[in-house]
Amino acid sequence: MESMNLSIDQLESRANTIRRKILQMVHSAGCGHPGGPLGLADIFTVLFMNILRLDPKQATAPARDRFILSNGHVSAVLYAAMQERGFWPDLDIMSFRSLGSPFQGHPSTRYLEGIENCSGSLGQGLSVASGLSLGLKQQGQAARVFCCISDGECGEGMTWEAATAAAHYKAPVIAFMDWNGIQIDGYTRDVCHLGDLPARFQALGWQCSTVDGHDIQAIQTSLLAARSNTSGPQIIFFQTTLGKGISFMENQPGWHGKAPNDAEMQSALAELV
């Protein structure tokens, strides 16, 4: 179980490839969520290429690291990153969200090897990841559990129940947040103001850090530091921009869940050089 250990330049190139795939997948489907996946592309590139210890040919090996996706609507970045890592080389990722496709709008363990949890109902991922990390710890496994959550889903009570329990039981879970300030109904500050999220997690007993979610080196440094620490729950607040890389999508709530038309698609791809 190893990572790929790519260079920073190689990671930046892979991130652009993943962004192109995201756009192509959502455009081909005519529906989906481009904004969040584009904003997460740099993080998922680093995570799947250089951090997670796994083997696509042994997707269920007990020694593997686990990745739990809570905000399942960003599935396009998960599928693109995992395929770049070597999963499902013979499957057509452009069948995304089509009837009968394994690449459904929200990931399911029923269709693809390597997917660790079904997701889509927001707020559940942190509970799954925290419990899984405690189970692996009890078994004496060295494998780590990483979990992606969104700021919008912190309006869900289950997130805070999980955060409280994880701190109490010292679950060695590594969470990171897509902290872009946007959810499907608009800016989080307008929909349901979440307050000082790092302070709230820290008050519960979590180890917290805040990192630029588009700085490849900083992303890698923070994830490596988190992986080496097993003393309790940790969360990295990645400051991201929804629609990152596409000027007319960046920080625009309307691009949370809308597919680009043909002209918008061509314009977007032209920006990813």
Structure token digits, residue 171 = 């679950």
What pLDDT score does 14 carry?
98
Q: Is residue 3 part of a domain?
A: no
Q: What does the chain come to in residues?
A: 273
What pLDDT score does 10 carry?
98
Q: Is residue 1 part of a domain?
A: no
Q: Is residue 60 part of a domain?
A: yes
Domains of the chain: total: 1
- Containing structural domain, residue 265: 8-271
Q: Is residue 158 part of a domain?
A: yes
Above 90 in pLDDT, residue 90? yes
Above 90 in pLDDT, residue 273? no
With contact defined as beta carbons under 8 Å apart, do 116 and 108 qualify?
no
- Taking residues 231-239, what's their average pLDDT? 98
What pLDDT score does 120 carry?
80
Q: Is residue 105 part of a domain?
A: yes
Q: What is the CATH number of the domain that holds 18?
A: 3.40.50.970
What pLDDT score does 241 carry?
98
pTM for this one? 0.97
For 143-170, write each residue's pLDDT tens digit.
999 999 999 999 999 999 999 999 999 9
For 166-215, write each residue's pLDDT tens digit.
999 999 999 999 999 999 999 999 999 999 999 999 999 999 999 999 99
Q: Is residue 263 part of a domain?
A: yes
For 53-69, write each residue's pLDDT tens digit.
999 999 999 999 999 99
Q: Is residue 2 part of a domain?
A: no
Above 80 in pLDDT, residue 1? no
Give the whole-number percent of the chain exceeding pLDDT 70.
100
Q: Is residue 227 part of a domain?
A: yes
